[in-house]
Amino acid sequence: MSEPLAQRLRPRALSEVCGQQHLLGEGCVFRKTIDSGRIPNMIFYGPSGVGKTTVARIIAENSGMRLHKLNGTSASTSDIKAVLAEIGTLNSANGLLLYLDEIQYLNKKQQQSLLECIEDGSVTLIASTTENPYFYIYNALLSRCTVFEFKALQPADIEQGICNALARLSAEEAGPIEMPQEACQYLADACGGDMRKALGCLEFAATAAVPGPEGNRLITLEMVKQVARRTAMRYDRAGDDHYDIVSAYQKSMRGSDPDAALHYLGRLLEAGDLVSACRRLMVCACEDVGLAYPQIMPIVKAAVDIANMVGLPEARIPLANAVVLVATSPKSNTAYMGINRAMADLKRGKSGPIPRQLQNKHFDGEDALVKGQNYKYPHDFPNRWVEQQYLPDALAGTVYYEYGENKNEQAAKAYWDKVKKK
C-alpha cells in the first residue's frame, strides 16, 4: 500500500517546515533552544495538520538520543515501562528521548509514571496534543514541561506546501502535474489551516487527473472544488474549536455585530451543532440584552422551540431571526453583574441569618429579645411599598443591582426614586 502524500512529504529540517514562524523563525527562543542541541521537556499543543508531529520528529531524530515513539491512542502501561527499562543501559548512553503523540489519551496513572524520570532528566519528553493541555494533562506533568502552541496555518503557508507537493509529485510520477493559481488558492483557503487535509485533497485530485497529449496532468479548479468540499471548517464538539466558535458567536451578538453573529451561527449549524447554537443564543438574550429589552427572552425562547421542532436545515430560519434581534437590541448586563456580585459575597462567606421579619415562623423562643415577626406587608402601604430591611444584618445596605442607562431600566429607576422619595 502506497504511503500517503502528507507522510511522504514530511520536512526533514526545521527550515523546511511551512508556517509556525512565531516558534521556528530565526531569533525565536524556541528555535535557538533547539539549535543549541539541549532539548528540554516540551508539549506541543494545537489543531491537527499544522506541524506538531513533524517538528517533534525532526527534533527527536536530530537529538542524538535514543529515540522511542509512542502514541497515546494505543500505548499501554507496559509500553511505557519498556521505555523506562532502558534507563541506565548502554542504549541510553546519550540519553533517552520519548516522543509521545496524542498524550491526552494517556490516563492519570500512565502520565504519572513519567514524572520521576522526567524530573531527574533520565528521559526527555516531547509530547503533542490537539486538546488544551491545561484541561487534559495533569498538573504535575505540566509543571515539568514547557507548552508551545502551534497555530492554524495561513493560506500562504498551505499554498507553499501545495507547490512543494506538486514538485515532488511531478518528480515521482511519469509526467508533470500542473495546477492553476486559482485552484491552488482555492485549496489553500478551503482546508481550514490543515496541511494534511490540503495534501490529502491534492493527492486525490492528482490521482483523478487524466494525462494530456503531452503527458502532463492538469488539476482544474472544478476538480479541487469537488474534493475540497466541507473541508474549510474545523470543528470538534469536544475540542477547542467548539469553544472558540461558541465564544465568537456570543461575543458577536454582545458586540452588536449581526453579520459576524450570523457567520458563527452558520458555522455551528453547518457542523450540525443545533444544541450549542440554541443554548448560547438564550444565554446571550438573558446575559447581554437582559433588562434593556426584557421581552426578548420569551421571543428567543419561542424561536429556539421552533428550531428544535422543525430541525435542521429549516432551524436556521427562526434562529437567524433571533440572532439578528439579539445582536441589534440595546444591551444591559446589570442583572448578570448583580447576581455575580451576590454570589461572590456568598463565596467569601458574607451572609448571615435571615432577618426575623422575613422568616417563615410566627413565634419566638424565650430567649428572643424582640417578640413577634414584625413583618410589614407592602400592599398595606401607599404605592405598595414600605421601607424595611431585607438583607441579613451583615449585608445591610449592600448594593448588587445598579440601574442601566437604557430606557427600560431608567423608567423603572424614575418610578422607584419617586416612590422611595430619593
The winner for highest mean pLDDT among 169-183, 198-212, 225-239, 258-272 is 258-272
CB atoms within 10 A of CB 254: 17
Q: Ramachandran region of residue 48, left (φ > 0), alpha (ψ -120 to 50) or beta?
A: beta
What does the block give as the cell for 197? 487535509
pLDDT (tens digit per residue) in 268-310: 988 778 889 999 999 999 999 999 999 999 999 999 999 989 8
Where does the pLDDT of residue 25 fall: very low under 50, low under 70, confident under 90, or very high at 90 and above? confident
pLDDT (tens digit per residue) in 57-93: 888 878 878 888 888 888 888 888 888 888 878 777 7
Given a cut of 60, whether residue 235 has pLDDT beyond it is no
Q: What are the helix (H) ranges across 285-420?
A: 296-310, 316-328, 334-347, 407-419
Domains of the chain: 20-149 (3.40.50.300), 155-227 (1.10.8.60), 240-328 (1.20.272.10), 353-419 (1.10.3710)
CB atoms within 10 A of CB 2: 7
pLDDT (tens digit per residue) in 152-202: 888 888 888 888 888 887 877 767 888 888 888 888 888 878 888 888 888
Where does the pLDDT of residue 369 fall: very low under 50, low under 70, confident under 90, or very high at 90 and above? low
70 close to 83: Cβ distance less than 8 angstroms: yes
pTM for this prediction: 0.56
pLDDT of residue 258: 94
CA 420 to chain centre: 48
Where does the pLDDT of residue 121 fall: very low under 50, low under 70, confident under 90, or very high at 90 and above? confident
Nearest by Cα to 81 from 91, 68, 94: 68
Where does the pLDDT of residue 1 fall: very low under 50, low under 70, confident under 90, or very high at 90 and above? very low
Compute the average pLDDT of residues 239-258.
Answer: 86
Strand partners, 218: 178
Cβ neighbours of residue 375 closer than 8 Å, sequence gap 6 or more: 357, 358, 388
Compute the average pLDDT of residues 368-388.
Answer: 80
pLDDT of residue 285: 96
Give the whole-number percent of the chain exceeding pLDDT 90.
Answer: 28
pLDDT (tens digit per residue) in 139-162: 888 888 999 988 888 888 888 888
What does the block give as the cell for 372? 413577634
pLDDT (tens digit per residue) in 380-390: 899 998 999 98
pLDDT of residue 2: 64
What average pLDDT is seen over the chain? 85
